[in-house]
Amino acid sequence: MNPLAFFAIFLKAALFSTGGLGTLPSLHQDLTANGWAQEADFGKAIAIGQFTPGPSGLWVISLGYLTYGYLGAGLALLAVMIPPFLVLGLAAVYRRIEHLMAVRGMIRGLSLALIGLLVVVTASTLAGSGTDWRGVVVAACAFGLAFSQKVPVFVILVGAAGVGLLIF
Amino acid sequence: MEGPTARKLLLIWAGIGAQSFGGGPTTLLFIQREMVERRGWLSEAEFVRFWALCPLVPGINLIGFAILIGRRLAGWRGIAATLAGMLLPSAIITTVLTAGFSSLQGWPPFQSALRGLIPATAGLMFVLALQMGRPVFKEVRQEGWPRLATAVGFVLCAAVLLGWLQLPSWLVLLMALVAGAFLLSFKVISPPVQSSIEEIEEIEGVPQ
């Protein structure tokens, strides 16, 4: 595994992302194509990311570790730190509103496309990690509980791990 | 207003970074309390204006926010101190947790737990995807149904381009960026957006 290529994959994902999970579709595509990550690595990394403090986008550090050890974790952190620096440029020019409107449109387009990509990636993660009907039921329950926003995310995940112990 | 030193910033942000479980909203609350209420280093208006800029650039919004605040308080040294303070505790905790997690790999009960955990994560990801769309859909709904249909089209096209045509995701996202600039920018300015832009201009007009 080449560290520069590894870093480039993470940086590219961060440059075309918004929000915490925005890096996922691009990382999923590139890392699985190279055989550098297993389907299950993504689920693990995202689950761990829910238990750690700080911005939720930092789950990529966990993915970096799972795929490339401590160096991978460091490179992943560096990669997600770079794109937000564009905000300094924007802060300097934001008074030109026409410009801002086009930028807003671009980011809207990006967010919407990411939703479509995330749904596809999630489905493929679910299908690719050997999930049977019991897994699908667990996924549906987790979706319902999280959607209702009445149960904290870490409780859902701990519960799912407990259910896993009992039924598998 | 007294400017903080880079060292002090590092310590304060490390506190924010290590305590803010639960992602974005919690972190934002800690930043507001620490920077605006408790120390008065940042005005409420600056806080709002800085945060408004962050969703307009790619990547993690909180990192962009931290960069703006760091520069405002102590220039480039402030940025370095802020980022190190906010990210390093989280990064270290994440790495250590992942390493511990990986060392359990061969243990059969852990494998069973994982078979419950991974589908649950998938369920959460669907919710996160929906939540990500909520602010955009809220805005475009006010801009009329053609806009709303366009937005739905973006989601569907992206899913088809990746899932069916197997295009590289950066290409799909680049197409969405370009198409978004033309199809989704504010031609019809909705009232809340108008007022927030005026607000930003107003704040900018006040000499600091």
Contacts of A145 (CB under 8 A, 6+ apart): A151, A156
User: Is the pLDDT at A141 greater than 60, yes or no?
Assistant: yes
Residues A47, B117 contacting (CB under 8 angstroms): yes
Looking at residue B189, its pLDDT comes to 45
Q: Which residues of A touch B157 (CB under 8 A)?
A: 113, 116
Angstrom distance (rounded) from CA B29 to CA B47? 11
B7: amino acid identity, one letter: R
Q: pTM value?
A: 0.80
Q: What is the DSSP letter of A58?
A: G
Q: How confident is the model at residue B208 (pLDDT cuts 50, 70, 90)?
A: very low
**What are the tens digits of pLDDT across the range B135-191?**
889 888 988 899 999 999 999 999 999 888 888 888 998 899 899 999 988 754 444
- Interface-testing mutation among A107, A134, A156, with chain B (most B C-beta atoms within 10 A): A107
Contact B49, A95 (CB under 8 A): no
Q: Could you say which DSSP state residue A20 is in?
A: S
Alpha helices (H) along A34-132 = 39-51, 59-81, 86-93, 97-128
Q: Does ipTM exceed 0.90? A: no
Coil, helix or strand for A18? Answer: strand
Contact A26, A17 (CB under 8 A): yes
Distance from CA of B95 to the nearest CA of A (A): 6
pLDDT beyond 90 at B93: yes
Residue A53 touches chain B, beta carbons under 8 Å: yes
In which band, very low, low, confident or very high, does the pLDDT at A97 lie, cut at 50, 70 and 90?
low
Chain-centre distance for alpha carbon B2: 29
One-letter amino acid of B196: S
Exposed/middle/buried for B99, CB within 10 Å: 0-12, 13-18, 19+?
Answer: middle
Size of interface A-B (CB pairs under 8 A): 381
Which chain A residue lies closest to B102 (C-alpha atoms)?
A66
Mean pLDDT of all residues in B89-114: 89
| Residue B55: band (very low, low, confident or very high) from pLDDT cuts 50, 70, 90 | confident
* Contact yes or no for B59 and A161 at CB 8 A: no
Give per-residue pLDDT as tens, A12-64.
999 998 878 889 999 999 999 989 999 889 989 998 988 888 888 999 999 99
pLDDT at A149 (0 to 100): 80
DSSP output for B134-153: HHHHHHHHHT-HHHHHHHHH
